[in-house]
Structure 1
Amino acid sequence: MRLQILHETVYGYDQPIRNLVQSLRLTPTVFEGQKTHEWSIDVTGGMRGPGFRDGAGDWIEGWTVRGPVEEIAVRVSGRIDTRDTAGVLRGHREQIHPLAYLRDTKPTRVDDGLRALAGSVTSAADHLDLAHQLSAAVGAAIRYTNGVTESLTTAAEALALGEGVCQDHAHALIAVARERDLPARYVSGYLHSTEDGQSHDAAHAWAEVFVEGLGWVGFDAANHCCPDERYVRLASGLDAQDAAPIRGVAMGMATEKLAVAVRVEEIEQ
Structure 2
Amino acid sequence: MRLSIRHTTTYRYEHPARRIVQAMRLWPAPCEHQQVADWQVRVGGRLLKPRSTDGFGNAEATLGLEGPVEELVVSVQGQVVTGDTHGVVRGTREPLPPMYFLTTSPLTEPGEQVGALLGSLPADRGEGVAAAHALMSAVRDRIAFQTEETHAETTAEEALAHGRGVCQDHAHAMIAVARQSGVPARFVSGYLWTDSESESPASHAWCELFLGALGWVGFDPANGVCPTDAYVRIAVGRDGRDAAPIRGLREGGAVESLEVTVRVAQALQQTQSQQQ
TM-score class, shorter: over 0.9
Structure 1, gaps ≥5 residues long: none
From the superposition, tell whether residues 116 and 160 of structure 1 become closer, same or farther in structure 2 (CA, over 3 Å). Answer: same
Query: What is the aligned partner in structure 2 of residue 119 from structure 1?
Result: 119
Distance in 2 separating the partners of 1:132 and 1:110: 20
**Deviation (angstroms), 1:48:** 4.7
Q: Is the 8 A contact 1:9 1:75 kept in 2?
A: yes
**Deviation (angstroms), 1:7:** 0.5
Query: What is the aligned partner in structure 2 of residue 211 from structure 1?
Result: 211
Say whether 1:146 aligns with 2:154: no
Deviations 1:76-112 (A, max 9, x none): 0001111111111111121111111111123212222
**Amino acid in the other structure paired with 2:146:** T
Deviations 1:220-241 (A, max 9, x none): 0010001111111110111111
Q: Is the 8 A contact 1:43 1:63 kept in 2?
A: no
**Deviation (angstroms), 1:45:** 6.8
Query: What is the aligned partner in structure 2 of residue 136 from structure 1?
Result: 137
**Deviation (angstroms), 1:21:** 1.7
Q: Is the 8 A contact 1:47 1:63 kept in 2?
A: no
Q: Where does 1:87-102 land on structure 2 (aligned, <5 Å)?
A: 87-102=87-102
**Amino acid in the other structure paired with 2:171:** A
**Amino acid in the other structure paired with 1:164:** G
**Amino acid in the other structure paired with 1:222:** A
Query: What is the aligned partner in structure 2 of residue 31 from structure 1?
Result: 31
TM-score (ref. length: structure 2): 0.91
**Deviation (angstroms), 1:49:** 7.6
Query: Bigger shift: 99-108 or 232-241?
Result: 99-108
**Amino acid in the other structure paired with 1:147:** E
Structure 1 counterpart SS, 2:151? coil
Structure 1 counterpart SS, 2:65? strand
**Deviation (angstroms), 1:246:** 0.5
Structure 1 counterpart SS, 2:179? helix
Structure 2, gaps ≥5 residues long: 271-276
**Amino acid in the other structure paired with 1:145:** Q
**Deviation (angstroms), 1:51:** 1.0
Query: Bigger shift: 112-121 or 76-85?
Result: 112-121
**Amino acid in the other structure paired with 1:81:** V
Q: Where does 1:168-207 land on structure 2 (aligned, <5 Å)?
A: 168-193=169-194, 197-199=195-197, 201=200, 202-207=202-207
Q: Is the 8 A contact 1:46 1:64 kept in 2?
A: no
Query: What is the aligned partner in structure 1 of residue 81 from structure 2?
Result: 81
Structure richer in strand, relative to its length = 1
Query: Bigger shift: 30-39 or 252-261?
Result: 252-261
TM-score (ref. length: structure 1): 0.93
Query: What is the aligned partner in structure 2 of residue 231 from structure 1?
Result: 231
**Amino acid in the other structure paired with 2:42:** D
Moved over 4 A (4+): 45-50
From the superposition, tell whether residues 47 and 199 of structure 1 become closer, same or farther in structure 2 (CA, over 3 Å). Answer: closer
From the superposition, tell whether residues 213 and 152 of structure 1 become closer, same or farther in structure 2 (CA, over 3 Å). Answer: same
Distance in 2 separating the partners of 1:130 and 1:15: 51
**Deviation (angstroms), 1:198:** 4.3
From the superposition, tell whether residues 49 and 225 of structure 1 become closer, same or farther in structure 2 (CA, over 3 Å). Answer: closer
Structure 1 counterpart SS, 2:88? coil
Structure 2 counterpart SS, 1:242? helix
Structure richer in helix, relative to its length = 2
Query: What is the aligned partner in structure 2 of residue 6 from structure 1?
Result: 6
**Amino acid in the other structure paired with 1:209:** L
Q: Where does 1:48-87 land on structure 2 (aligned, <5 Å)?
A: 48=48, 51-87=51-87
Structure 2 counterpart SS, 1:115? helix
Distance in 1 separating the partners of 2:250 and 2:94: 31
**Amino acid in the other structure paired with 1:157:** E
Query: What is the aligned partner in structure 2 of residue 264 from structure 1?
Result: 264
Structure 2 counterpart SS, 1:173? helix
Distance in 2 separating the partners of 1:133 and 1:29: 30
Structure 1 counterpart SS, 2:193? strand
**Deviation (angstroms), 1:251:** 2.1
From the superposition, tell whether residues 221 and 26 of structure 1 become closer, same or farther in structure 2 (CA, over 3 Å). Answer: same
Q: Is the 8 A contact 2:41 2:48 kept in 1?
A: no
**Deviation (angstroms), 1:199:** 4.7
State percent identity of aligned pairs. Answer: 47
Alignment RMSD: 1.7
Deviations 1:30-81 (A, max 9, x none): 2111111110001117685861223422111122222211000001000111
